[in-house]
Structure 1
Amino acid sequence: MNDFNQSAAEALARMAAIEHRSVVRRSESTALTPGQLAERSIIPYLDGANRPLVDSFRDLRTRLLSISNENFVTLVVPVSNGCGGSFVARNLALSVTFDQSKTALLIDCNLRHPTQHTAMKIDTARGGLINYLEDPEAEVDGMLYATGIPRLKLIPAGRSTYGDMEAEHFASFRMRLLLDSLRSSYSDRYIFLDSPPALGAPDARMLSELADVVILVAGYGRNTPADIAAAAGNFDPRKFAGVVFNENA
Structure 2
Amino acid sequence: MSESQPLSTELVAPIQFSGRQLAERRIVSHDMADSRPADAFRDLRTQLLARQEGRPAVSLVSAVQRHSGGSFVALNLAAAIAFDESRRAVLVDCNLRAPVLHERLAVKAERGGLVDYLEGQVERLEDILYPTGVARLMLIPAGQRREASGELLDSDRMRMLLDSLRGSDGRCSVVLDGPAVSSSPDARILSQLADFSVLVAGYGRETTAALKEAAAVFDPRRLCGVVFNRVP
TM-score in terms of structure 1 length: 0.84
2:182 pairs with 1:237? no
Counterpart of 2:49 in structure 1 is: 65
Match of 1:106 in 2: 91
Give the CA deviation at 1:75. Answer: 0.2
Name the residue aligned to 1:42: 27
Which structure has the highest helix share of the two? 1
Separation in structure 2 between the aligned mates of residue 80 and residue 107 of structure 1, nearest angstrom? 19
Matched, 1:175 2:152: no
In structure 1, the partner of 2:136 is: 151
1:54 to 23, 29, 38: 38
Match of 1:92 in 2: 77
Distance 1:137 1:99, change over 3 A: closer
Q: How far off its partner does 1:124 sit?
A: 1.4
Relative to structure 1, is the Cα distance of residues 137 and 38 closer, same or farther in structure 2, using a 3 angstrom cutoff? closer
Distance 1:139 1:86 in 2: 26
Q: For residue 209 of structure 1, give the secondary structure of its aligned residue in structure 2.
A: helix
For residues 55-107 of structure 1, give each alpha carbon's deviation from its aligned partner in whole angstroms, at most 9, with x where no partner exists: 11101111111112212100001000000110000000011111111110000
SS in 1 for 2:98: coil
Give the Cα–Cα distance (whole angstroms) in 2 for the partners of residues 137 and 113 of structure 1. 21
**Counterparts in 2 of 1:167 and 1:63: CA distance versus 1, 3 Å:** closer
Q: Quick one: structure 1 residues 183 and 166, their matched pair in 2 at CA, closer, same or farther if it must change by over 3 Å?
A: closer
Q: 1:5-24 to 2 correspondence within 5 Å?
A: none
Percent of aligned positions that are identical: 46
Q: Distance in 2 between matches of 1:54 and 1:30?
A: 22
How many residue pairs match? The answer is: 223
Following superposition, the deviation at residue 180 of structure 1 comes to: 0.3
Letter in 1 for 2:38: V
1:33 aligns with 2:18: yes
What's the counterpart of residue 187 of structure 2? 204
Q: Which residue does the alignment assign to 1:76? A: 61
User: Mean alpha-carbon deviation: is it higher for 132-141 or for 184-193?
Assistant: 132-141
Task: Map Cα deviations across residues 166-210 of structure 1 (whole Å, 9 max, x no partner).
Answer: 451111111001100111021211000000011131100000011
- In 2, distance between residues paired with 1:117 and 1:206? 23
1:190 lines up with 2:173 in the alignment: yes
- TM-score normalised according to structure 2 size: 0.90
Provide the residue aligned with 2:205 in structure 1. 222
Give the conservation status (yes or no) of the 8 Å contact 1:117–1:124.
Answer: yes
Aligned 8 A contact 2:14 2:131 in 1: no
CA–CA distance in 2 between the matches of 1:151 and 1:122? 15
AA of the residue aligned to 2:47: R
Q: Against the structure 1 CA distance between its residues 200 and 164, is the aligned structure 2 distance closer, same or farther, given a 3 Å change threshold?
A: closer
Q: Would you say the 8 A contact 1:78–1:216 is kept in 2?
A: yes
- In structure 2, relative to structure 1, the CA distance for the partners of 1:166 and 1:58 (3 Å cut) is closer
| Runs of 5+ consecutive residues of structure 2 not aligned to the other structure | 1-7
In the alignment, is residue 116 of structure 1 matched against residue 101 of structure 2? yes
1:133–1:231 CA distance, 2 compared to 1 (3 A): same
